Amino acid sequence: MDQIFSWFSESATQNLTGYAVDLCKNIVAAIVIYLIGKWIIKKIKTLANKVMEKRTVEPSLRSFLSSIINVVLWLVLIIAIVSVLGIETSSFVALFTGAGMAIGMAMSGTLGNFAGGVMILLFKPYKVGDYIVAQGYEGIVREIQIFNTILTTTDNKTIIIPNGSLSTGSMQNVSTQPYRRVDVNFDFTYGTDYDEVRKAIADIQSRCPLILQEPIEGEPVTAPWQGLAKLGESGVTIATRSWCKSSDYWAVAGYMNYTVYQELRKSGYMFPYNKLDVTVNKN
């Protein structure tokens, strides 16, 4: 009996000693992996920040991507350390995967807006200060956030549009081109002398300092134009085309409408309005 107890004690001691030695080795290896991994994470973050700064990535997106990279790298390091300590890592991977899927399903709309924000900040279809038309709204871009884009309308209203719809839908960026064409049409009653009206409108265009009078090489800019556009139900439509700098668009449009109405009205020209002729048959 004593021999059996002695053998069992000796065997248990050897096993415990071997386990303790292996555990110590694993702990040392885990510490080494932690120190090396921490150093590698720091280097990768520094390199990523330099690349994003070199590519002029927006500060808000740069900070967010840096945080994402940091979290992912630390998760990988933790799994590596747990594996070295002899703990089964498949459960951790399954847990992280399940949590990621659950969060993704619960935040599908938010994640779509985030992905749209990333695309906008990376490819820059518009920037702060641009005038855009999108999703039934138009205005000046005041701020591009991760999830939303904030516009200010011409009457000083604040519009918040989710980035998901902006990145997947159609959008007009009015500010990308240096020059813009102002199209304004004017209706006159039948019987109006077309040649006289056209000359009067051409004179009005020539007097505006904001309207470009000559074509510009390499640009679609042409000289001011006037022409008969349509024979309508109540009168004729004379179309005008005037090129100007993009920043002068509204000033030129306002000038054309105001000046043509004021001067041609005083000259006796009539602007038509919708009317209905009713014939009464006594029979």
pLDDT tens profile 154-192: 889 999 998 888 888 888 998 888 999 999 999 998 988
Q: What pLDDT sits at residue 18?
A: 60
pLDDT value of residue 89: 62
Going by C-alpha positions, the residue among 170, 92, 95 that lies closest to residue 135 is 170
All residue ranges of the chain with pLDDT < 50 are: 5, 7-8, 106-107
Q: Which are the contacts of 224, defined by CB distance < 8 A and separation ≥ 6? A: 202, 205, 206, 211, 213, 240, 241, 242, 243
The pLDDT score that the predictor gives to residue 97 is 67
Give the pLDDT score at 249: 92
Structure tokens at 13: 């001691």
Contact 165, 204 (CB under 8 A): no
pTM: 0.59
Percentages helix, strand, coil for the chain (3-state, rounded to 5) are 55, 20, 25
Q: Tell me the domains of the chain and their CATH numbers.
A: 2-106 (1.10.287.1260), 125-173 (2.30.30.60), 179-266 (3.30.70.100)
Cα–Cα distance for residue pair 21/14, rounded to 1 Å: 10
Which pLDDT value is given to residue 201? 95
